[in-house]
Amino acid sequence: MSAGRFAGQAVVVTGAGQGIGRGVALALAREGAQLVLADRAAIVEEVAAEVAALGALVTVARGDLETWEGAEQLNAAALAAFGRVDVLINNVGGTIWVQPFQEYGPAQIEAEIRRSLFPTLWCCRAVLPDMLQRQQGVIVNVSSVATRGIYRIPYSAAKGGVNALTASLAMEHAQHGIRVNAVATGGTEAPPRKVPRNEQPLNAQEHQWYQGIVDQTKNSSLMQRYGTIDEQVAAILFLASKDASYITGSVLPVGGGDQG
């Protein structure tokens, strides 16, 4: 990474409280970005403090991005803080339950789609008017190679939706100077989540299903391993930067050879 790729740019990072989102926020701060960090959990304040310690301007927007109102409020906070959104990085998502599709109830399926599709859909819609007015902007959506995977079918469907959104939005708005791409993350080593997606501990059967996901993920990777947060962050920042100025409508798999 070269210092300064995002100097003076206003960048929104959703799901910034932990994991890949936190890694993206810290890397952007080191490269000169002005940051709006979004999360519904209070831990995002800790990340904001880390970012500020690196010398970056930062504001926090807490809210529920599964709703249009939450996305609107995030966009308003970014415009109030910096007057524009140069880059939007949509990182909210992640499977809540681990089980074969026939075990999912209707409410669980709807919750998975709300978690892993709607925050990206709403936030893209929220930032578009400003980007269109300025005839420039960059959106990077965090997808997953789990569009082809086991025991999390609703999540897979949601991330397939993210990929379709990415391609269609890029096609619609390339003429307006807006680039839209996605990084399809593979299995990624990360510290234990401070705020779990599912507060209920896994039972013995669910542990077995979860191990099935781990095994399938490694077996689908040509490198036969999980990636690191830094490896995912590097791809996200590349697509967000001017280094990728002639790339739009693409989904970049970062899964050790797993194409999703």
pLDDT tens digits for range 111-134: 999 999 999 999 999 999 999 999
260 inside domain: no
pLDDT per position as a tens digit, 84-114 = 999 999 999 999 999 999 999 999 999 999 9
Backbone dihedral angles phi then psi of residue 36, each to the nearest 5 degrees: -115, 115
Query: What pLDDT does residue 198 have?
Result: 82
155 catalytic? Reply is yes
Query: What pLDDT does residue 197 have?
Result: 84
Residues 6+ apart with CB under 8 A from 241: 5, 6
Asked if residue 255 has pLDDT above 90, the reply is yes
5 inside domain: no
134 inside domain: yes
pLDDT per position as a tens digit, 135-144 = 999 999 999 9
Query: What pLDDT does residue 98 have?
Result: 96
Query: What pLDDT does residue 9 have?
Result: 98
Reported as a pLDDT band with limits 50, 70 and 90, residue 2 is very low
206 inside domain: yes
166 inside domain: yes
Asked if residue 1 has pLDDT above 50, the reply is no
pLDDT per position as a tens digit, 164-220 = 999 999 999 999 999 999 999 999 999 888 887 887 889 999 999 999 999 999 999
Tell me how far the alpha carbon of residue 122 is from its chain's centroid: 13
pLDDT per position as a tens digit, 26-52 = 999 999 999 999 999 999 999 999 999
Query: What pLDDT does residue 194 have?
Result: 81
Q: For residue 126, give both structure tokens.
A: 């929220």
Residue range of the domain that includes 37 = 10-254
Q: What rounded mean pLDDT belongs to the chain?
A: 96
Candidates 104, 151, 155, 226; catalytic one? 155
165 inside domain: yes
Provide the domain count of the chain. Answer: 1
- Residue 91 belongs to domain with CATH number: 3.40.50.720
Reported as a pLDDT band with limits 50, 70 and 90, residue 3 is low
158 inside domain: yes
How do strand 34-39 and strand 178-185 relate by DSSP bridges?
unpaired
